[in-house]
């Protein structure tokens, strides 16, 4: 798994150059930022998974706890607890810091007029709020993010309009963070607004397919534990990323492999609040399991618009074109 | 970069608020933040495509020659939620767009503020700060 290829100027090469992208002078403000944050944020550990006292969800006609509705998860909570070793500009695809706050990082977006929750971090376990990523995976992430002008495959699957992944598809971002849950006998379906993804999750006890079946989003199998929908996901391919959005910071573009195993838990804790947790383990990439927790808010009036990502995805050819202009200038 | 701690703390709050708002693709790989551009011209088409909308406009240069420009905006769903619709910039509208040039030197830009004939400003993509 460590021999994954890196695409550099159309040539498939074995692994990554180690880069010294950290420019301490330029990043000094960022370091102060993370220290300030670490000192000032609350120690809230994110969403619980038990229903509010005295409240139980209604049932669907076939007796499932009713999770149906339109939910959103806009938030200002950082993905991880920040650390001085972080390199936010790299994670955002702007290692030189020339973006000047323009572009995607500062789009006016769907968070306007929203009161955003802000807790310590979405990562609630380990208690440090830091994902235990192996060094090789960070090196591969870094090499790819520094080479997106050289090959389309160095972009995340989100930028390529393939998928934001599972569980990555529910990691909060700045726009298009609407989700619709629908239930029928033996199934739960989730429609994701962002790049209009959909999951159909059987809850009838069937087993995962054989190990020869490998999928970008893995194979989801659900079951009910009390009022909690538990989804077990295996059968991933080794092409995707555990997170694709820049808000995931250090975890963005970290590879997923065939040994990835995810367990999600959805619990409706009151009429308007859905608790979500995902425990992620991949012994090829992480030194131990880690858990992300968040709440989604019911928002019946939120309109989920179609997001046909690939219809005009000029970002990839334009980025490659910028790379060729860079090469000519050298 | 040296800044007083109080200012750094203020910057921290801004950065923390901005951090989760990042979107579909990396600006810096495609556009040059050191090359701002201000274009005044006539809208030929507003292309409502995913993952990012594109505003097409004809811009007359100082030599009198008309050049076609493409300006990248946000995702159609995000633009709708911030007040854009199909009537915002019909073909023929004269607009001024502030943005940043593509790194490949083509006549493309990442858009910021779009100023309409009546002075109204709509933000098509980039930070409102760039429209000031």
The predicted structure's pLDDT at residue A11: 41
Average pLDDT over residues A165-186: 94
pTM of the model: 0.81
pLDDT single digits (tens) A74-117: 988 999 999 999 998 888 777 877 665 433 334 445 666 777 88
**With bands split at pLDDT 50, 70 and 90, how would you rate the model's confidence at A53?**
confident
Q: Give the C-alpha separation, B33 to A102, whole Å.
A: 7
The predicted structure's pLDDT at residue A112: 66
Task: Answer whether the bond into residue B71 is a cis peptide, omega within 30°.
Answer: no
Q: Residue A102 in contact with residue B130, Cβ under 8 Å?
A: yes
The predicted structure's pLDDT at residue A76: 87
Chains A–B, number of C-beta pairs less than 8 Å apart: 227
Helix (H) or strand (E) holding A215: none
Q: Buried b / exposed e across B66-97, counting CB within 10 Å, b at 16+?
A: eeebbbbbbbbbbbbbbebeeebbeeebebeb
Query: Does A43 score more than 60 pLDDT?
Result: no
The strand ranges marked E within chain B are 31-47, 54-60, 66-72, 94-102, 108-115, 121-123
Q: Give the C-alpha separation, B117 to B132, whole Å.
A: 17
* Closest listed residue to residue A117, CA positions, set A197, A172, A66, A69: A172
Query: Does B129 score more than 70 pLDDT?
Result: no
The predicted structure's pLDDT at residue A110: 63
Task: Name the residue ranges covered by the structural domains of chain A.
Answer: 25-329
Residue B95 or residue A34, greater confidence: B95
The strand ranges marked E within B49-104 are 54-60, 66-72, 94-102
Q: A38 touching B, CB under 8 A? A: no
**What's domain B25-131's architecture?**
Beta Barrel (2.40)
Is the ipTM of this structure higher than 0.95? no
* From B1, B32, B50, residue closest to A98, measured CB to CB: B32
Q: State how beta strands B66-72 and B108-115 pair.
A: parallel
The predicted structure's pLDDT at residue A15: 38
**With bands split at pLDDT 50, 70 and 90, how would you rate the model's confidence at B116?**
very high
Taking an 8 Å cut-off on Cβ atoms, the answer to whether A33 and B11 are in contact is yes
User: Which residues, 6 or more positions from A204, have their beta carbon under 8 angstroms from its beta carbon?
Assistant: A186, A187
Q: Which residue of B has its CA nearest to A101?
A: B127
Query: Does A309 score more than 60 pLDDT?
Result: yes
The predicted structure's pLDDT at residue B6: 43
Contact list, B97 vs chain A (CB under 8 Å): none
Write out the two tokens for A95: 């290692």
* From B21, B30, B105, residue closest to A109, measured CB to CB: B21
Q: Residue A245 in contact with residue A29, Cβ under 8 Å?
A: no
Contact list, A174 vs chain B (CB under 8 Å): 20-23
Query: Does A254 score more than 50 pLDDT?
Result: yes
**Torsion sign (Cα): A283, A286, A291, A293:** negative
């Amino acid at each position: 798994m460590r021999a994954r290829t890196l695409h550099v100027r159309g040539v498939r090469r074995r692994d990554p150059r180690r880069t010294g992208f950290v420019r301490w002078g330029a990043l000094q403000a960022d370091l102060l930022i993370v220290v300030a944050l670490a000192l000032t944020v609350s120690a809230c550990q994110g969403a619980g998974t038990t229903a509010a006292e005295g409240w139980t969800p209604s049932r669907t006609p076939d007796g499932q706890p009713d999770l149906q509705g339109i939910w959103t998860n806009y938030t200002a909570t950082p993905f991880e607890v920040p650390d001085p070793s972080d390199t936010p500009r790299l994670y955002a695809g702007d290692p030189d810091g020339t973006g000047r706050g323009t572009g995607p990082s500062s789009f006016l977006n769907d968070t306007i007029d929203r009161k955003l929750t802000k807790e310590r971090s979405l990562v609630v376990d380990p208690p440090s709020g830091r994902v235990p990523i192996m060094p090789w995976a960070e090196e591969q992430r870094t090499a790819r993010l520094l080479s997106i002008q050289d090959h389309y495959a160095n972009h995340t699957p989100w930028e390529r309009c393939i998928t934001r992944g599972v569980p990555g598809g529910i990691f909060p971002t700045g726009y298009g963070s609407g989700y619709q849950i629908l239930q029928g006998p033996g199934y739960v379906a989730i429609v994701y607004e962002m790049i209009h993804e959909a999951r159909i999750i059987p809850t009838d006890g069937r087993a995962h397919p054989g190990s020869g079946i490998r999928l970008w989003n893995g194979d989801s199998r659900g079951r009910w534990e009390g009022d909690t929908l538990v989804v077990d996901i295996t059968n991933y391919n080794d092409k995707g990323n555990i997170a694709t959005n820049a808000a995931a910071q250090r975890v963005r573009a970290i590879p997923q492999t065939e040994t990835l195993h995810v367990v999600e838990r959805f619990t409706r804790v009151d009429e308007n609040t859905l608790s979500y947790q995902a425990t992620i383990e991949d012994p090829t990439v992480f030194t131990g399991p880690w858990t992300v927790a968040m709440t989604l808010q019911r928002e019946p009036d939120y309109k989920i618009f179609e997001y046909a990502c690939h219809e005009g995805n000029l970002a990839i050819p334009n980025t490659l074109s910028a790379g060729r202009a860079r090469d000519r200038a050298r | 970069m040296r800044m007083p701690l109080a200012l750094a703390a203020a910057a921290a709050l801004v950065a923390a608020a901005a951090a989760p708002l990042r979107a579909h693709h990396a600006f810096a790989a495609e556009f040059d933040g050191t090359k701002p551009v201000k274009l005044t011209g006539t809208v030929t088409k507003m292309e409502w495509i995913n993952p990012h909308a594109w505003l097409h406009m004809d811009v007359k240069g100082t030599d009198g020659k008309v050049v076609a420009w493409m300006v990248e905006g946000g995702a159609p769903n995000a633009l709708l939620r911030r007040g854009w619709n199909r009537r915002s910039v019909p073909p023929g509208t004269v607009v001024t767009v502030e943005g940043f040039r593509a790194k490949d030197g083509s006549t493309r830009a990442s858009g910021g503020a779009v100023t309409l004939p009546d002075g109204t400003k709509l933000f098509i993509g980039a930070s409102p700060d760039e429209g000031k």
